[in-house]
Structure 1
Amino acid sequence: NIMLVDDGRKAVIMDFGISGVADESESDELKAVSAATGESASVDDTGGKEVDWDVTSAGMGTPKYMPPEQWTKRGYGPPSDIYSLGAIVFECLTGRPVFGAGSMYVLLNAHLNEAPPRLRSIDPSIPKDIDEAVDKALAKDPANRFRRAEDFAEAITGLSKFRRWIPFMIRAMALAVVLGLLTFGVIKIQRAITIEIMRPSVSRLAELIARGVDPAMLESIHTEEDMNRREFTEIRDYLRVQADSNPEVKYVYILRSVEPPANWEFVVDKDDPGADGGAPPGEEYNEDFPGMNVALSMGVRASDQDFVSDDWGLLLSGYAPIGSETGAGGYILGVDVDNSTLVWFQRVVIAGGVVSWISLVILFISVERRRQAKERLRRRVAADS
């Protein structure tokens, strides 16, 4: 007995166990059918009359929902309930029972020997997955049905297909993590090697350029108006020549140490204000990298420990003091070197990792689909046999 309710559960089974109790004794009518069919049947003899099988009991259940083994009293168990549930779902979706009303013998023969009609043969709009799930639930052999009602429910809702792909998705995610870590590791190693190679060269280049700057000329440059002074023009032109002579150099600039909070201000920049990175004299520079302080306070060349990313790529900076003055009011020259080679390498490695992951995912999908196709074929063969 299944009742429709309006409390969120939609449908509720009202009782259990009555059919099981009724099965313990076989009526005289069942014995008569057994003699006529050669099987141990469990139906009431209606004498060939048309019967409303919605309400008429056949010894131990409602006939139109009874599985073959319940008619013949062979191996009745949980798979039998799957069959009955499949028959109920069939009727809910089509508005008609799996096997229509008729005499007891007609219904008995249908459940024992006739293949149930496919849902899509009655209503083509029914999804294929639901059609296949109900057909499996109505299999004659209990071994070919769903083992659990939960499996049947998942097949109807599509969760079973999703769950079949869960192991694949886990493997794909694990592969993505492995490839990601491998890619990250390769980039980090290459980055570390490149930094160790470049740091001495960058700091040495800063020192060489700084030697060509007269610190006395810097004392007359403080504001943007000083850009018209001869001292500014000469130093700026010198910085531009040095940058042009070293194509890997992105920026060359001279900074003056000032009191906090700014810490630094531009004195001369090879780029004009308004250009990419260009700054006029007196503009504050709020970054304060360790290499800058080493160059100023200790009077030696220094460099950053790692690349700095900006809109133009990866930069590694070197610094050198200008003249012998250190401490407040001292000057340093900074050189930012663009490492386009490392940027290119990173892009190649990342692209290679992505392509490898996509290729392996496609391969896994192909293998998984083939495996599932073989599994469906195996089940179909088992059902036919």
Structure 2
Amino acid sequence: MQSDSVQRVRIYLSEKDTISGRPSYLATLETLREAGATGATALRGLAGFGVSQRLATESGDPNQKLPVVIEWIDRADRVGRILPSLDALLPDALITIEQVQIYRATLRSSGPFGERRVGDLAARDVATIASHRSVADAIRLMLGAHSALPITDDQQRLVGTFSHADMRRHAQLAPELLAALPEAQRAALLAPLEATPLAQAIRSEVLALSVDSSVLQATKAMIEWGLDEVPVTNREGRFHGIFTTSHALQAAQESRAASDSPIRDAERPSPIGLLMQGVRKSVLGYALANEGIERLAEVGDVPLVVLDNGHPLGVLDIGALLAGAEPPLRDSLVAFFRSGQPSSPALAELLGETRVASLPLAPLPSLPTAAGYDQAIALLHEQGSAWLAAVDEQGRAQGLIGQRTILRALVQESGA
């Protein structure tokens, strides 16, 4: 029943104290309400004395100053955020904080992402590259790593970012295909880029987050920029780490109250059925594998969902396909996707009667459409999936929920 995440704050005032002509207790309550406190109550004392040792009672004397105590119970992270804002308002008031035991409570949530900062969550063990290196060096370093490679100067200050889009632009090949090429072919493809200075690939605008940014601020920026990974800098502008959409989902999951907790959020999560988007592109699991792969080449970045009588089996994805294919098939797949042609007789012959359902698929977890998006957050974060399927009572796919969809809904929930 003990909950170290909830605290009680008591603020000791007098009923005669005023701030800008208003009773101090009313001004304090209004400040707490505007700052987002769950709730607070002003209690008027029957009698009391303070450092003056003068006893005040309900005697009818207009000069008496009876005590007023404001009691405020809230989540500890919110208390820590709001309490300093009272310093200027109540510079001399006695204020106490104590942990409380909770039997049952409904409190305002800590916001969609809690109170943690970007610097607390950012991945620190991240490769960087010096600005004097070549584009070929950057591409080699990016293979199998983050989709954003920070570029730094000799003082470790962030001067730019090399992205998957930059890799496609310079190498004329998707990162998944470049990684799957035999070493000799990849070296030949990168050879012309050995002499291209990385400085030429740096964007004119450096997009970065501060270690002090809230997760909410970071998520809003990433949605606006259309990025899933963004470098983070410290107060001196030096590189600190990488913040990703997965980190934002982690913060959102951690801010949700545990199902067995005596503390409940006042706000109820919306069902994912209200957030899902339709399955725009799909292929049947019993379709010929060659036909499914040809369709995959057409759809671009839209997830190609594999269905069996309406039930989702997974996502046909270039990365998963190449990672799970044996060398003869993988070589043929790379050649097909590089060719830009709509079909490949050689690939069709190699696959024969193989069906789409037998190909290596990216996992597609599912939840009922009535499930709350807090469950979707947990599932996406735990399985590291970019998408999940919203299904009906029979398990048939009704739509898709992506990480960005969830994060956009969380930002809207915050009212920001």
TM-score by length of 1: 0.22
Relative contact order, CA 8 A, sep 6+: which one is greater? 2
Q: Which has the higher strand share?
A: 2
Q: Which has the larger radius of gyration?
A: 1
